[in-house]
Amino acid sequence: MNTKSPRNGIFRRLISLSVKVVNEYLPDPFIFCALLTFIVFIAAFPVTGMGPMQIINGWYEGFWSLLGFSMQMILVLVLGHALANSRPCARALSAIASKLHTPSQAILVVSFVSLAASWFNWGFGLVIGAIFAKEIARKVKNVDYRLLIASAYTGFLIWHGGLSGSIPLTIATDGALAKASNNVVSGAIPVSDTLFSTYNLFIVIALFLTVPFLNRFMHPRADEVVTVDPKLLVEENMDIDESGATWADRIENGRWVSLVLAGIALIYIVNYFFTKGLDLNLNIVNFIFLFTGVLLHGTPRRYLIAIRNAATSSSGIILQFPFYAGIMGLMVVKGDNGVSIAGAMSNFFVDISTQTTFPFFTFIAAGIVNFFVPSGGGQWAVQAPIMLPAAQELGVSIAKTSMAIAWGDAWTNMIQPFWALPALGIAGLGARDIMGFCLITLLYSGVVISAGFLFL
């Protein structure tokens, strides 16, 4: 007797099709970035009315605008990776992973951990999920490695609805709305109206409770599982010779150096949280990662080896982030008609919106713009001057409109390789390995997020 549900079979075929299509047609993230550059370059001619040299100038002016952010992201990856490979952290992760025995358990746990970490802080979530998934792959047999890393990345979906969401935190500051809307909208919006609003809590809780089970459901049949040899996931042996006879050797292997550095940093960290509260921006997260790693590795030499091993996975960020900055430059540059590509996209959705549908279409517009401007701050700078005045004119909540931009920015990250680069660097995978699964998450989460904005 066949007890297999026909509907279950349809979903399985949809997942299989998604994985196959992505494997066939999604190029390397750098080629994807180059293709986006070509598309935006060509679109700039009719939309902005500019000539080739003006467009190229706009591309170059944006090209180096993310250098500071690029370095922050490299440090998130390298310092987080080095911290996780310290003996205490590695043992802790190994102990947790050892309690998992089935692929279903592995997928569920890594999904929940990544979602929780990303809600708390997006930079922390990006790194810890992938590192934990990699450790689980060493312990759990027959778990699909692609889906495991994809599950770790899907946690990033909820970051802009969490405690480190850049847009809700920005508009909670006096003057931020006026600056973003060219003085059309003023005041400040407390997080009670954004992060802790009914619609946002519904979206976050719904995704938190269902995405892990969606990920588990996507696990391939036994004959389709792609595993990885655990030996390939083992980091370079950290057992080094610490018996050097020279003064330089003794300094490099001196635990006191690490202890003094970590002690000085600890004083600052305690004072930081005492005076500023739980303000987990990228700089303080990286600072904590750095000096915790210094302390847990024990000696400067051990930490240097860990950093060297981790740095090899940052090449994608180094190469691609300037190109995305160039795309952002093309998206926001305006011709003599005063129109940019990002502005034209946003205006289109404003024109077809009503008071009821405006937050939904703002979310969709933000999702599309995010393909080309994959930065929360950059997207806010592009869309807020258009969407906020329109919301005020239509009588739509400014808070809800702002969160629609935030969720659109987070939503299409599921199929935008830009943010997946740190996780892929840690895992040693390519974008096409995980994006087929992430596409299913994108489709499902789009329905959940849309329902939150349309009905709550």
| Residue 104 confidence (pLDDT) | 95
Contacts of 199 (CB under 8 A, 6+ apart): 400, 403, 452, 453, 456
- Residue 3 lies inside a defined structural domain of this protein: no
| Residue 234 confidence (pLDDT) | 67
pLDDT tens track for 371-426:
888 878 778 888 999 999 999 999 999 999 999 999 999 999 999 888 888 888 88
Q: Tell me which residue of 290, 234, 235, 301 sits closest to 264, measured CA to CA.
A: 290
- Residue 184 lies inside a defined structural domain of this protein: yes
Residue 277, sorted as left (phi over 0), alpha (psi -120 to 50) or beta, turns out to be left
Number of domains in the chain: 1
φ and ψ at 416, to 5 degrees?
-110, 110
- Residue 7 lies inside a defined structural domain of this protein: no
Positions of the chain with pLDDT lower than 70, given as ranges: 1-7, 231-232, 234-245, 280
Side chain identity, residue 378 = G
pLDDT tens track for 217-271:
999 988 889 998 776 676 655 556 566 668 788 888 889 999 999 999 999 999 9
Q: What is the 3-state secondary structure (H, E, C) of the chain?
A: CCCCCHHHHHHHHHHHHHHHHHHHHCCCHHHHHHHHHHHHHHHHHHHHCCCHHHHHHHHHHHHCCCHHHHHHHHHHHHHHHHHHCCHHHHHHHHHHHHCCCCHHHHHHHHHHHHHHHHHHCHHHHHHHHHHHHHHHHHHCCCCCHHHHHHHHHHHHHHHHHCCCCHHHHHHCCCCHHHHHCCCCCCCCCCHHHCCCCHHHHHHHHHHHHHHHHHHHHCCCCHHHCCCCCHHHHCCCCCCCCCCCCCHHHHHHCCHHHHHHHHHHHHHHHHHHHHHHCCCCCHHHHHHHHHHHHHHHHCCHHHHHHHHHHHHHHHHHHHHHHHHHHHHHHHHHCCCCCCCCHHHHHHHHHHHCCCCCCHHHHHHHHHHHHHHHCCCHHHHHHHHHHHHHHHHHHHCCCHHHHHHHHHHHHHHHHHHCHHHHHHHHHHHCCCHHHHHHHHHHHHHHHHHHHHHHHHHC
* Domain carrying residue 93: 19-455
| Residue 2 confidence (pLDDT) | 44
| Residue 262 confidence (pLDDT) | 95
- Residue 2 lies inside a defined structural domain of this protein: no
Q: Tell me which residue of 76, 131, 78 sits closest to 307, measured CA to CA.
A: 78
* Tokens linked to 285: 């997260």
| Residue 230 confidence (pLDDT) | 74
pTM for the full predicted model:
0.86
Asked whether the CA dihedral 14, 20, 25, 27 is positive or negative, the reply is positive
Burial of 37 (0-12, 13-18, 19+ CB in 10 A): middle
- Please say whether the beta carbons of 85 and 92 come within 8 A: no
- Please say whether the beta carbons of 143 and 216 come within 8 A: no
* Tokens linked to 312: 């090899």
- Residue 14 lies inside a defined structural domain of this protein: no
pLDDT above 90 as % of the chain? 51
Asked whether the CA dihedral 404, 282, 186, 368 is positive or negative, the reply is negative
Q: At what angle do helices 431-455 and 6-25 cross, to 10 degrees?
A: 120
- Residue 13 lies inside a defined structural domain of this protein: no
Q: At what angle do helices 282-297 and 255-276 cross, to 10 degrees?
A: 150
- Please say whether the beta carbons of 185 and 392 come within 8 A: yes
* Cα gap 76→350, rounded to integer Å: 37
- Residue 438 lies inside a defined structural domain of this protein: yes
| Residue 183 confidence (pLDDT) | 85
Side chain identity, residue 133 = A
| Residue 1 confidence (pLDDT) | 37
pLDDT tens track for 311-334:
887 888 888 889 988 998 899 888
* Cα gap 96→87, rounded to integer Å: 14
| Residue 3 confidence (pLDDT) | 45
* Tokens linked to 254: 């001196």
- Residue 4 lies inside a defined structural domain of this protein: no
Residue 430, sorted as left (phi over 0), alpha (psi -120 to 50) or beta, turns out to be beta
